[in-house]
Amino acid sequence: MRRLRSCFCQLMLICATLTACASWFSSEPPGPIYDVRSAVVLGGPEVSRELLSGIGDRINSAINATVRTEVYPRVVLTIRVASVQKAVGFDRNRNVAKIRIDAASVDDGSVIAVSAFEVTSTANDEKMVDQILAEDVAARIRSAFQLTAGGA
């Protein structure tokens, strides 16, 4: 019985090690990089102006702080806040925003990239819900488009 347990533990250790090493051999190519020139944030009447302006200010600050040393396709972002749900979950402290982004070419106006995602944030202070959600959305966009975090 001890020998069986010892073999099982060794097998589990080998599996865990191989799983940890698998990320070294990822063959997934990096996503495309764009030179984001500006962004506009849109939302329906149910989306607060504080949330829309918070996202816009943070993204435009990141655009201004980002310096590209190589030439990439120049794009303009249209960020749509499709829906916002506030005070959801058991503790009523989760907030969810569904975001859709179109990246249109500066040269001819055609949409060359589309992204959609959902951001969930937690906030216990009702006065800070929009600002925290705006920062979480902006952080996701900065990550997706490789923008430098601005000072906003």
The CATH number of whichever domain residue 45 belongs to comes to: 3.30.160.150
Write the single-letter amino acid at 60. Answer: N
How much is the pLDDT for 64?
Answer: 94
Structure tokens at 51: 């949330």
How much is the pLDDT for 131?
Answer: 94
Q: Is 119 exposed, middle or buried (0-12, 13-18, 19+ CB in 10 A)?
A: buried
27 inside domain: no
3 inside domain: no
Element (H, E) at 102: strand 94-105
Q: Which residue is listed with tokens 């907030």?
A: 95
CA pair distance 50, 65, nearest whole angstrom: 22
Per-residue pLDDT tens digits of the chain, which is 152 residues long: 667 667 666 777 676 676 666 666 655 566 688 999 999 999 999 999 999 999 999 999 999 999 988 999 999 999 999 999 988 878 888 999 999 999 999 999 999 999 999 999 988 888 889 999 999 999 999 999 999 886 54
How much is the pLDDT for 125?
Answer: 81
63 inside domain: yes
How much is the pLDDT for 151?
Answer: 57
How much is the pLDDT for 76?
Answer: 96
90 inside domain: yes
How much is the pLDDT for 90?
Answer: 81
Owning domain of residue 85: 35-144
Q: How many domains does the chain have?
A: 1
76 inside domain: yes
23 inside domain: no
CA pair distance 111, 78, nearest whole angstrom: 10
78 inside domain: yes
How much is the pLDDT for 25?
Answer: 61
Q: Which residue is listed with tokens 């906003």?
A: 152
CA pair distance 41, 144, nearest whole angstrom: 16
137 inside domain: yes
